[in-house]
Amino acid sequence: MNTTNPRPAEGRRMIQAPVLSGDAYPEASDEVKIKAQPVPGGESCVFRLNRKLLAGHSWFFPSFESAAGSPLAEALFCLDDVETVLVMESMLTVTRKDKTLVDWKPLARDIGQALRRHLEGGAPALAERILQGMPSEEGIREGIQKVIDIEVNPGVAGHGGSVTLLGVRGNTVTIQMGGGCQGCSAADLTLKQGIHTAFRKAVPFVGAILDETDHSAGLNPYFS
């Protein structure tokens, strides 16, 4: 998290340049390479690979039962302590059941081995039935816009906030939080417990939900 609160010089608008990942693996490497990066606080860990796990779509597995028919998720849920799994392109995000453990290394090693076995086996990451039932981007966009208009925005409007749908790619949804939500210390909670739940309930085929809000640049945060 960016802890500064950048404010532009008088009369100038502050913009962001893309941050280039200096430690990304070269995709051309023959060897499967996996880097694990626990998030601050340790509630989840992001795994980045030099291979695509799932191209064009993303998928969130909230439980062991939801993994039925998806070999990679089945293997991951067989590991002790795996709570949820999100697969997107060459990235995997795992949350753990035991929130008191902050050392991800033992579980991350097991997940790394499961990922390697999956890639060597060549099985698809996602059950065929899920891909066959996948609605169009337009269908997902309409469903998400509806839940934003009817449920999410009326809820966050009480704090002067708003949520905007920036786009849908495959079944990956990108949003931006504005007004009082931008820079709010509770924005992450609102996103994960409120918005994610509302989106997935209304549109069950939603995969990853990306937040492109620059919370460090909020000029009118709720707690200012």
Partner 1 sequence: MPKLNRFNIKIETGDSGTPGPVQFNINHHVLPFENAEGGTGPGEVFTGGFEINSFAHTLALVGPSAGRWHIRRMTVDFDCESTPPYSVNFGEVTLDDSTEVNLWQDSPIPAFDV
- State yes or no: residue 61 binds partner 1 (CB under 8 A): no
d(C-alpha 140, C-alpha 155), whole Å: 21
For tokens 């059941």, the residue is 97
Residue 71 interacting with partner 1 (CB under 8 A): no
3-state DSSP call for residue 147? helix
Tell me the per-residue interface mask from 28 to 47 with partner 1, x by CB under 8 A, - otherwise: -----xxxxxxxx------x
* Residues 131-160 contacting partner 1, CB under 8 A: none
The least CB distance from residue 91 to partner 1, in Å, is 13
- What is the x/- site pattern for partner 1, positions 174-203, by CB under 8 A? ------------------------------
From the CB of 25, what's the least distance to partner 1, in Å? Answer: 9
Residue position matching structure tokens 């939080």? 177
The size of the interface with partner 1 (CB under 8 A), counted in residues, is 38
Six-digit token pair at 221?
A: 């945060």
Q: Does 120 bind partner 1 (CB under 8 A)?
A: no
- R_g of the chain computed on alpha carbons: 19
Q: How far is the CB of 102 from partner 1 (least distance, A)?
A: 12
Rounded CA separation 135/205 (Å): 7
Q: Tell me whether residue 57 or residue 215 sits nearer to partner 1 (CB atom).
A: 215
By the rule CB under 8 A, 11 interacts with partner 1: yes
From the list 118, 90, 109, the residue with the least C-alpha distance to 27 is 90
**Dist CA 8 CA 1 (whole Å):** 19
